[in-house]
């Protein structure tokens, strides 16, 4: 799995990509010139403390890892955790994140 690392890469996706909302997350998509998807995960301090943010990022990465083979390739994808994900992080499970992201991916026509 390739990752977005620099601030400029994230800003390109934010400014030029398309945005889709879910209940727990916000996802940005932007076409890149590679043959694989690159992932970026953001959990701001508004979502909760460090334990909460790290758990959310782990859940989003695992969700992407499971879904990546079913997605169109050649995109930069940024997951942003919403505040209500942080509020429910103790009861939040991977299946809840998956359901939310599947709805977003279907709306964005990202599945193969």
d(CA 99, CA 63) in angstroms, rounded, equals 10
Does residue 11 sit within a domain?
yes
The predicted pLDDT at position 18 comes to 96
d(CA 97, CA 51) in angstroms, rounded, equals 17
Outline where the chain has alpha helix (H). Answer: 7-16, 50-67, 83-87, 94-107
Does residue 27 sit within a domain?
yes
Q: Is the dihedral of CA 85, 54, 14, 110 positive or negative?
A: negative
8-state DSSP, 110: -
Does residue 79 sit within a domain?
yes
Does residue 112 sit within a domain?
no
Q: What is the pLDDT of residues 48-57, one digit of tens each?
A: 999 999 999 9
Does residue 77 sit within a domain?
yes
Does residue 41 sit within a domain?
yes
> For the chain, how many structural domains are there in total?
1
d(CA 80, CA 77) in angstroms, rounded, equals 10
Does residue 88 sit within a domain?
yes
Low-confidence ranges of the chain (pLDDT < 70): none
Does residue 72 sit within a domain?
yes
Check which CATH number belongs to the domain holding 60 and give it.
3.30.230.10
The predicted pLDDT at position 29 comes to 96
Range of the domain at 16: 2-107
């Amino acid at each position: 799995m390739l990752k977005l690392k620099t601030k400029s890469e994230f800003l390109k996706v934010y400014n030029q990509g398309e945005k889709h909302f879910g209940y727990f997350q916000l996802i940005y998509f932007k076409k890149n010139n590679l043959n694989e998807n690159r992932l970026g995960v953001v959990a701001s301090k508004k979502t909760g403390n460090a334990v909460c943010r790290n758990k959310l990022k782990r859940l989003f990465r695992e969700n992407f890892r499971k879904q990546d083979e079913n997605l169109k390739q050649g995109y930069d994808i940024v997951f942003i955790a919403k505040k209500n994900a942080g509020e429910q992080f103790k009861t939040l499970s991977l299946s809840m994140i998956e359901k939310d992201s599947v709805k977003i991916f279907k709306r964005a026509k990202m599945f193969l």
